[in-house]
Amino acid sequence: MMKIPVLGLGTWKAGPGEVTETVKMAIDMGYKHIDCASLYHNESEVGAAVYSKIVDGIVNREDIFIVSKLWCTCHKKSLVKTACIKTLRTLNLEYVDLYLMHWPMGFQHGKKELPLDHYGRVIPSETDYLDTWEAMEELVNAGLVKAIGVCNFNHEQLDRLLRKPGLRLKPLTNQIECHPYLAQENLIKFCQDRDVSVTAYYPFGGSWKGVDLADDPVLQKIAQKHGKTRAQILLRFQIQRNVIVIPIAVNPQQIQEYMQVFDFELTAEDMNEILNLDKNLRLVTFPTTESHKDYPFHAEY
């Protein structure tokens, strides 16, 4: 089975003006995994950075693991390949290593990325994500992508996909929001028990009752104990759970800081203390889609 590099660079919310230099620096510092999506509107800049490093002989294409995502308005089977080819052209690549279904929810196809009705609710498509998956399997057969996976699937949706009659390819990963305030223990176990890896986005979390995760005294104590930053503790926490992690970095100091997580180990006591911070705090909730039949966060996990 293909392996995803355990530490990647997230590009969500990375501005078009800064992302090219950020990706270049990341590659120079040893990052092998770049996480992208068509929704982020910066894939041309990511592609330019990767291309420049290949041309300069810093890396070969095979050395870099590029991830992109299918947006919800392109779930209809006839639209999937077109969307993927558009992403490849934008990235200036012949293939991506991993192509993910960004959400299990299909939206009405059209000019708007988030089509809303007059009540402010998303307008769904009639597409079933199982049909979308069949079209994604075809992308692997066509050589446009090396592997496929999902994002934001709950355990019921993932189970339904894995039990799909005629399933040819299992998802390589389920990319989910995950940080100590949303530890996702049940979903991670469910995925890993079925040989589906987990990728954590938003690893630095947010605030709970006015306390930012980075300022949590438990993390401060553990960081001081190991002589590491709190960000490094949060990344190491995921890596020791066999969870892939994709922090967003925007400056050289952060890019380098996030790489320095392989020279220490959290103790079992450290891990338990961090897990005990779980507050089921979900930050990415996508409220305009809560009425969608495939909205993933109504399930317990």
- State the catalytic residues: 40
Pairing of strands 211-212, 207-208: antiparallel
Within 8 A by CB and 6+ apart from 43, the residues are: 36, 37, 68, 87, 90, 91
Contacts 24+ apart (CB under 8 A), 27-30: 27/53, 27/58, 27/59, 27/64, 28/53, 28/58, 29/255, 29/256, 29/259, 30/259
- State which amino acid sits at residue 132: T
Q: What are phi and psi of 33, to 5 degrees?
A: -130, 120
Q: Smallest Cα–Cα separation from 233: which of 251, 215, 253?
A: 215
Q: Smallest Cα–Cα separation from 24: which of 55, 48, 60?
A: 48
Asked if 294 and 105 count as a contact pair (C-beta separation under 8 A), the reply is yes
Asked if 81 and 51 count as a contact pair (C-beta separation under 8 A), the reply is no
- What torsion do the CA atoms of 250, 253, 254, 257 make, to the nearest 10 degrees? 160
- Angle of helix 230-239 relative to helix 252-259, nearest 10 degrees? 40
